[in-house]
Chain A
Amino acid sequence: MIAEAGHYALVLALGLALIQSTVPLLGARWRDAALMNVARSTALAQLLFVAMSFIALVTLHVTSDFSVVNVYENSHSLKPLIYKITGVWGNHEGSMLLWVSILALFGGLVAAFGNNLPLSLRAHVLAVQAWVAGAFYLFILMTSNPFLRIANPPIEGRDLNPILQDIGLAVHPPMLYLGYVGFSISFSFAVAALLEGRIDAAWARWVRPWTLMAWIFLTLGIAMGSYWAYYELGWGGWWFWDPVENASLMPWLAGTALLHSALVMEKRNALKVWTILLSILTFSLSLLGTFLVRSGVLTSVHAFATDPARGVFILLILCVFIGGSLSLFAWRASALKQGGLFAPISREGALVLNNLFLTVACATVLTGTLYPMAYEVLSSDKISVGAPFFQLTFGPVFVALLLAVPFGPLLAWKRGDLLGATQRLLAAGIAALIAIALVWAWTYGGATLAPLAIGLAVFVVMGALCDVAERIGLFRMPLSISLRRARGLPRAAWGTMFAHAGLGIALIGIVCETTGNTEYIGAMRPGDVVPIAGYQLKLDGLTPRPGPNFSETIAQFIVKRDGATVSTMTPSKRSFATRGMSTTEAALLTRGASQLYISLGDATADGAIAVRIYHKPLVLLIWWGPVLMAFGGLLSLSDRRLRVGAPKPAKAPRALQPAE
């Protein structure tokens, strides 16, 4: 009954999407406010029905109703409750339902909070949202229905893929989808602007918070996924340039570019056409990501769908939306008026440069991801494109970008002073040189690029700090005035600082992880001691332990440093009987930002067990960086200037705020 109700709710949502995709457009054409307002009610109703459908599927999973194929294939009655819930999106059908649920959520948010939007713009935006939603409802109903029943229900389910039974996976896909799908809003705004043939700075002001929100979620989602891979897959890698990872990186790169170009558009009314194009491209890359992961063109850890009918359907959606929006762009973009002149050396110029680098980086990832597939189709021969390729091509572009990052915020709008900016970055430059010298002396004879990369990272972090120090007049004015100015500084300026500094912090982590690791690989017996990076790790013993739906072997390690016991670590190896698979649960010991990492291999016949022990210096910075970036985004999002239509209190000390 619940399954049928969920199925029916989804069909109703499709019906509502069809109404929403046509009626408001007619309303806009006939200037009929009542028809345009239909979009608002349908978007909210759609959210209600999709939510019902999603809750139905969650209920089916939680109650282990194995008469439903999706539950039978991905659940087990003994699975812990949390994984019964997260198992809902741990499979193709469920994750597509999550996708449309989030799409409906965003549509509902625009409907609920878009009161300050011009009526016709809101009608257009919601109509475009409904096109996307309708296409995906159809996709789910026709090729990936999660509510299908089995004629003769089995007693027990087949369990979820063990490596997906992890708390990281509980959070990673929803975050990622909030990001992916969040970009649908900027896409809808862009298409709406093209349909209306009107676009202005206010448009950018409406789009920016949505883009920023999506970007925050995507940033956290990617970081989350990377950390999940790091501890769950058991070999300590955190980024593999796997097509699935690239699929999430591309919208992030384009989305970051979009954030910056929308800034130019909002503040200076320039780069309109480019911003529209980026909005379209960002969501197109999100769709492409969905296609890559969901169609089964790749087979990797994440790609659990391998049904060509689905692939063709998504490809069709992809072609219609990307092709359609780009054609619309080609047709209507010339109607958009350009505005806002600026000199090459200016804040705008810096943001254009940022966009150039980010787009090129994105293009590199795109070719690297699609080339092997295209090559295989065209020549029936296979090539691999992996980490060494991306390090060679993506790396230099990103280095150039990072070099330019500190300069951007220090340049004035319209016409900037590069020499002045350089002078103001002197402190950051000196800090970077000191860092290079220190790291070089410390790792003498080591990797030559490492000190330079650390120097670059320090430059980025210090550059971000310099910008704020400059704005609040730190060291140039009495401290009390600086503090008052710091309080008066718009939150967006703090946001910029955190986001840019986060970039540098992440780079420090990446460099340390790739060049400073210490590792031990060997077989150990109980009582053996391994010295690694100043720690002594003693294998105390191996104990078997039963879990809810698995059995595991736990190894106890006692970690000592200078004779004193620091902690114990308990890596384990789990074997899941239902799927006949085993997973390694690595043990991590965090010391500051560094980590000790132990993962177990196979046991040998004579009681020894293979272990890999790593000491990863400052590895956590890799993820603290993105968290800082997301925090910066959040600060920026809370800036009152982004809340359009919010009543503006009369603010006397306006003059204290530095010029934007």
Chain B
Amino acid sequence: MRFLRAAIVVLGLLAMAMPAHAVQPDEIMADPAKEARARELSKELRCMVCQNQSIDDSEAPLARDLRLLVRERIAAGDSNGQVIDFLVARYGEFVLLKPRFTPHTLLLWLVAPLALILGGIALWRRSRRRVVAGKQDVPPPLTPEEEAKLKRLMAAEPSPEKY
């Protein structure tokens, strides 16, 4: 799909014989596969002067510089990982919208699975306790007085069959 999208963009450009002074098309790489990779990477990189916007979304000049930088690295033959490493070395972890799994982000990444597991265990134990409690929940046998009262009541009450 992304390939298709990139291809449509490129085809559209060719069909129109775009003039060279375009604002954003000048960023687009000739190789659709590489362009698709660049778009993919752009979505994971933060425009550092914006609020939670990826460089793919942002119109800020810095985002444009970063987009060009990403494409430059891809054109130079870097793998996705190498491009990311390059940007982190240059701008710090702040540039990553998806923080790396390192000791200092351990808590961040583990909260969801831990909460799910602990919550699941708590519920499981609770339901088991409930089952045990439910089994013990058999009411104690009637005392002799209660038995007598019950007999009295039963005798006083006409049984339904007679109606």
Contact = CB atoms under 8 A, between A and B. Distances in A.
Interface of A: 234-235, 237, 240-243, 298-301, 341-344, 349, 352-353, 356-357, 359-361, 363-364, 367-368, 371, 375, 379, 381-389, 392-394, 397, 443, 445-447, 450, 515-523, 528-532, 601-602, 604, 606, 608, 610, 612
Given A363-B115, A389-B99, A522 B22 contact: yes
B105 A383 contact: yes
B123 interface: yes
B147 to A, nearest CB: 27
A393 B111 CA distance: 9
A356 B94 contact: no
Contacts of A532: 8, 12
B117 to A, nearest CB: 10
25 contacts: A240-B53, A240-B57, A242-B52, A301-B51, A341-B133, A341-B137, A344-B127, A353-B123, A367-B107, A367-B111, A367-B112, A371-B108, A383-B93, A387-B52, A388-B97, A445-B3, A446-B4, A515-B1, A516-B1, A522-B22, A529-B16, A530-B12, A532-B8, A601-B23, A608-B19
Given A521-B24, A528-B16, A356 B123 contact: yes
| List of 5 A-B pairs having minimum Cβ-Cβ separation, nearest first | A386-B97, A446-B1, A388-B98, A300-B51, A523-B22
Interface residues of B, number: 54
B104 interface: yes
B52 A300 contact: yes
Contact of A518 (B8, B46, B97, B116): B8
A341 B130 contact: yes
B5 A388 contact: no
A301 B12 CA distance: 34
Contact of B19 (A299, A393, A523): A523
Given A521-B25, A602-B23, A387 B54 contact: yes
A608 B21 contact: yes
B13 interface: yes
Most buried by B among A342, A375, A450: A375
B95 to A, nearest CB: 7
Given A386-B52, A532-B12, A610-B24, A381 B92 contact: yes
A371 B12 contact: no
Contacts of A235: 57-59
Contacts of A446: 1, 4
Interface of B: 1-5, 8-9, 12-13, 15-16, 18-19, 21-25, 28, 43-44, 46, 51-54, 57-59, 92-99, 104-105, 107-109, 111-112, 115-116, 119-120, 123, 127, 130, 133-134, 137
A134 to B, nearest CB: 33
B12 A520 contact: yes
Contacts of B12: 520, 522, 530-532
A485 to B, nearest CB: 32
Contacts of A299: 51
Most buried by A among B15, B46, B112: B112
Given A242-B51, A384-B52, A518-B8, A237 B23 contact: no
Contact of A387 (B23, B59, B97, B99): B97
Contacts of A393: 109, 112
Nearest to B28: A521
Nearest to B18: A522
A384 B46 contact: yes
Contacts of A384: 46, 52, 93-97, 99
Contact of B116 (A360, A367, A389, A521): A360
A91 B1 CA distance: 42
A610 B23 contact: yes
Contacts of A352: 123
Contacts of A519: 5, 9
Contacts of A363: 111-112, 115
Contact of B13 (A368, A375, A397, A522): A522
Nearest to B26: A523
B28 to A, nearest CB: 8
Given A235-B59, A341-B130, A393-B112, A385 B97 contact: yes
